[in-house]
Structure 1
Amino acid sequence: MSPGDEHDGYGGSGQTRTRLPEGNTGDVHGGTRRPARGSRSLLMGVGVVVLLVAAIALANRGGNPSDASPSTTSPGKAATAPTGTRPVTGTNGTVPTGYAHDEQGAQSAAANYAVALGSTDMYQRGPREALVRAVYAPEVVDDLLKRLDTLYSPAFMANTGLEPNGTAPTDLTFVARTVPIGTEVTDYSEDGATVEVWYVNLTGLAGKGSTKPVTSAWFTSTQKLGWTAEGWRLTSNDEREGPTPVNGDSRASVAEEIAAAVEQYGGFTYAR
């Protein structure tokens, strides 16, 4: 049973690293080679090459060939491009903080909150309280914590394959990680925003003898955020299943490989 089914779309995380999305680059297809036709043709050819090199360099930087400075405009729905403003300036425990007071900042906050709220910390009472207080608006925290304490009961832990305190059994690694695929702002004002986050969630126990193998599930969470003295904070978080892609032809890894990958590869800090 995916933890997302039980607590409205809380996603998973690991240690965080800054990940600035890169600009799209395309292949440059030149025309058929022709014989040289004098110095004028040679100069024109050199000029074209220089322009192509400059365009490729700017594209790799996420810029526009007509503007060498970093883009400061908001990307479209289908675009993910870096801006000239650093999107995250600090942390609150393990949760990135310091998001800009604009639509991009709200999207960055929503993506990182989806990651944080399904981490292994959510399965242990002390770390769960610290995490919830770091991402939710103060006025909703206390009631939410009471409901979560009821949700993460010994019966729920047993069904997940965990010990009553939320830790993995001996020789097994508990995996709870979320990877955002994209975000969209559906409503925005200076005081609040509604952001949808599409993500894939990995959950299960990795290791020899595991009866709860790590599986993936796809969800879209609808996060309502308010602008507070501490920046963007969640006021509610709901989820629905999908969109879910068709499974590919990749071979499923053995439990030991999954356990090693979780330890080896840290998570990211996401920024719009």
Structure 2
Amino acid sequence: MSEQPTAEECEFLGDEAAGAGQFEKALDHYSQARRLRCDALTMALAGNDLDSQSMSTYGTDSTRLNQKIRTIVDELNPPKTLSERIADLRVEMDEHLISGRLNLASHLSTQLGAAYEEFGDLDEAESAYRSAVVLARQVDARDPELLLHTFWALIDFLPPSEESVALAKEMASNLIERREMYHPMRAADAAYRLALAELDFAEIAPQHMDSAIDGSTREAIEMLDGVCFHDKSQELQRWVAAVLRAVGRDTEADHWRSAADRYEDWEWFTDQQMPGHVHLWDIRH
């Protein structure tokens, strides 16, 4: 009976096969080497015979071997081209439309928009993003997160405009005002995105600046702080400062920047009572 090769020997054989372009053979050898190393680790743990040095060596060897396996898998399954991905997304989206799964079709339409955008076909990208929004409207309250995701993808794609603000207002009103869609964290996120859309538009249409700040932005900050999303609140206030500075209102910009900087002082929040619906991992560290 032939002696079974060691993990080191299997890895060496895998290296030789990979160098010769025999990728399936290399993958077999690497997989066998990994199994042998795992078996050895299991035995060492069972026998309480594993020191820190051995554990460190095992970790280093496993990391190296796993990287070789990933490289071979990539060689055997090369990533699809962008054109192929777009074609696949279209086919899958059409299947979901036929079966009536509009929420999945909407998600895929958003992915299709991103793929077309990466491809450089902005007309098709816009069409896909708009289709995703149309589908999300039909899904409506059955998937509020879909509404947030698809609307923002289109808003983020479009240049700042009255249309982008109108879309943001539609999104926010659904997620804030409709009881069947309301969740305090999602509502705060929607308010935050509405404020961003209005501020972006106000930068190119300064006559809308005061209404953007005194309306949606202040409300968004209050809602964000109310659910302990202090990082987004700080980010929004810094964005207000940047937009104000861009239109030459430096004194007000300094005020907003100073207000944002308060968030660096954790003691400022110690008196805030944590809402019952907020988990510890939602709080800014």
User: So what's the TM-score if we normalise by structure 1?
Assistant: 0.25
Q: Which has the higher helix share?
A: 2
Structure with more contact order per residue of length (Cα contacts < 8 Å, sep ≥ 6)? 1
User: So what's the TM-score if we normalise by structure 2?
Assistant: 0.25
Q: Which has the higher strand share?
A: 1
